[in-house]
Amino acid sequence: MTTLYNPLLNGFHPDPSVVQVDGAYYLATSTFEYLPGIPIHRSTDFETWELIGHVATRPGQLGVEDVPTGGGAWAPTIRHHDGVFHLVITDAMGRGMLHFTAADAAGPWSDGDLLRKADGTGTIEGIDPDIAWDAAGTCYVTFSGLQLTGALNPNQPAHLGIQQVRVDLGTHRALEEPRSLWSGTGLMFPEAPHVYEVDGAWYLMIAEGGTERGHSISIARGDSPEGPFTGAPGNPLVSARSTPRPIQNTGHGDLVVGPGGQWLCVLLGVRPRSGTRAFSALGRETFVTPVTWHDGWPAIAPVERNPRPGTRVEVAFSSDEPLDPEWVGIRRLPAEIADLDARDGALVLHAEGTTLSDSRPVFVGRRQEHLNNAVTVHVDVSAGVGGLAVRYDEGFHLEIEAGDGTVTARACLSGLRQEWTGPLDGHVVDLHLDSVTPGPGWRMVSTSDVFRLGFTPLGGERVELAQVDGRFLSSEVAESFTGRVIGVYAVDGDVAVLGWVAEGDDD
């Protein structure tokens, strides 16, 4: 019996797409400005998932070096056709709509071909592309017609609904001008289309209502991948809005036949906390829920909370082993800044005059996976200044920083900056960043969590420097599409990271 854990993938893993090939399942998610881009997880039972690789592992595959925060790798669709894995995605404000291929989902993947308009000028304008083939081998790319370029007001971009083109994958050029398809029940932002053939009928599943509390999934049916499509009588199939469900913002789903023939829907959602469940600390995560069919229509069950057991991750660094694939960098690959050869048993970061408020800081990190989470790093700052940080984006981050005889806890929150300092005797120190449930003394309607920032000098006892309200680093406040990433950084000289321990749970 398969256990459906929820979250299916903990931490910042939005916009999931899944495909089943030869008894294994391959799951892709969005990464925005982070590299390596577009992780691929593999499972044979839908319980245990292994990160087997990424699509974008080389410079230039995704043009995220200069994308604004929130741009980059948006909403992949992964499929398998004629022995080849295919992945389509929009590199928003970067290269444009892209098509990648690979013989093995673990990689290597191709450099990515632009999906161009019918006249060959520019890429197809839209987001969230889907790729599908009919029995004759005709390739269809279906997408959300959100117009990101040339918008007079970035908060009110033009939207043309769900659109579709036939594409020649030999030339990567559309064979026609975009055609409008069914665009949902009238809710805002119809997006995330996926086209399926099931028992001779064609289905168009989309998300609508926006990726916040109004998020939902709706579906339509037709006789052809081109439509016309008729909406299901029970739309939306799933939505958590105005409900007490612990998983909110449910939407942006993909269907697959799971183990034992059970249909499943993978989809994104958030786990809000506080008295009004107003703040989602970890951002959008991947969830799964059963699907049943009735009279030719799917029914998607509400998403149930079923967290995995807590984890402990201890990382030792070595020049003989590259960083494991969970490490990410901001707009560049971790290998470009994480020096494993400069000092035996250490990850050395060489400062470049940037801070975490810059777009390309010297920072490598890992997703925060648990609501209750504690990270400790063992660092040597004899030759520099740096430390441990949790980041949502350039405007929202917390730091515990050591160097020059001082330890500084720092909160940078949308232009507001506050610091707390303590003396450091020596150069080797443990830095601590803990995310904990609010304790007694907090208001009934309070926050998602509380961050405790502290340090332990060599041979000494832990010193607490600051306690910061965690709701400032939530998707609702930061309005970032990503989530919390915790990592190490350098702002001056060379910082040697000698060890990393992270542990947490979701109780």
Give me the DSSP letters along 193-262. EEEEEETTEEEEEEEES-SSTT-EEEEEEESSTT---EE-TT-SSEE-TTS--SSEEEEEEEEEE-GGG-
Q: Is the pLDDT of residue 356 over 50?
A: yes
Amino acid at site 493:
G
Residue 2's pLDDT is 67
Amino acid at 325: P
What share of the chain in percent tops pLDDT 90?
91
State the pLDDT at residue 444: 57
Cβ pair 206, 190 in contact under 8 A: yes
SS3 9: strand
pLDDT at residue 93, rounded to an integer: 92
Cβ(205)–Cβ(196) below 8 Å = yes
Residues 268-280: what's their mean pLDDT? 90
Helix (H) or strand (E) holding 101: strand 96-102
- The encoded tokens of residue 269 equal 């959602």
Does residue 152 carry a pLDDT above 70? no
48, 64 Cβ separation under 8 angstroms: no
Give the pTM.
0.96
Is the confidence at residue 68, as pLDDT, over 70?
Answer: yes
Residue appearing with tokens 């949502």:
392
**Cβ atoms of residues 481 and 92 within 8 Å:** no
Q: 444 exposed, middle or buried (CB, 10 Å; 0-12, 13-18, 19+)?
A: exposed
DSSP class of 335: G
* CA–CA separation, 17 and 28 (whole Å): 5
- Please give the pLDDT value at position 32: 97
According to the model, what pLDDT value does residue 447 have?
83
Nearest CA to 300 among 309, 288, 311, 310? 288
Averaged pLDDT for residues 207-214: 94
- Pull the structure tokens for residue 400: 């515990």
According to the model, what pLDDT value does residue 507 have? 82
The tokens for 475 are 């998707």
Note the Cα 235 to chain centre separation in Å. 27
pLDDT recorded at residue 158: 79
Pairing of strands 396-403, 406-413: antiparallel
Pick from 144-153, 210-219, 366-375: least confident = 144-153
Residue 468's pLDDT is 95
pLDDT for 121 equals 85
Would you say residue 91 has pLDDT above 70?
A: yes
Q: What is the pLDDT of residues 337-346, one digit of tens each?
A: 999 999 999 9
Edge-to-edge strands, sheet with 72-81: 72-81, 84-92, 96-102, 113-114
**pLDDT for res 495:** 98
Query: What residues does 269 pair with on adjacent strands?
Result: 285
Dist. CA 446–CA 452, nearest whole Å: 16
Examine residue 108 and say whether the peptide bond preceding it is cis (omega within 30 degrees of 0): yes
**Helix, strand counts (H, E) of the chain:** 1, 36
CA distance 253 to 265: 6
What average pLDDT is seen over the chain?
94
Structure tokens at 239: 């939505």
Interval 231-241: pLDDT, tens: 999 999 999 99
Task: Give CA–CA dist 87/40, Å, rounded.
Answer: 11
- What integer is the mean pLDDT of 132-153? 85
The residues pairing with 500 across neighbouring beta strands, listed in sequence order, are 315, 377
Backbone angles phi, psi at 251, to 5 degrees: 175, -170
Q: Using the structure block, give the residue that is written with the tokens 């469940």.
A: 277
Report the 10 Å Cβ neighbour count for 33.
30
73: which strand partners? 32, 91
- List the chain domain ranges: 17-234, 311-505
- For 311-505, which CATH class? mainly beta
pLDDT tens-digit map of 435-478: 998 766 555 557 889 999 999 999 899 999 999 999 999 999 99
Q: Specify the pLDDT at position 275.
A: 78
Q: How many CB atoms lie within 10 A of CB 430?
A: 20
The pLDDT score that the predictor gives to residue 394 is: 96
CATH number for the domain formed by residue range(s) 17-234:
2.115.10.20
Task: Please state, for a pLDDT cut of 70, what percent of the chain lies above it.
Answer: 96
The reported pLDDT for the residue numbered 441 is 59
d(Cα 70, Cα 68) in Å, to the nearest integer? 6
pLDDT interval class at 327 (50, 70, 90)? very high
Q: Which residue has the higher pLDDT, 159 or 209?
A: 209
Q: Do 377 and 388 touch, CB atoms closer than 8 A?
A: yes
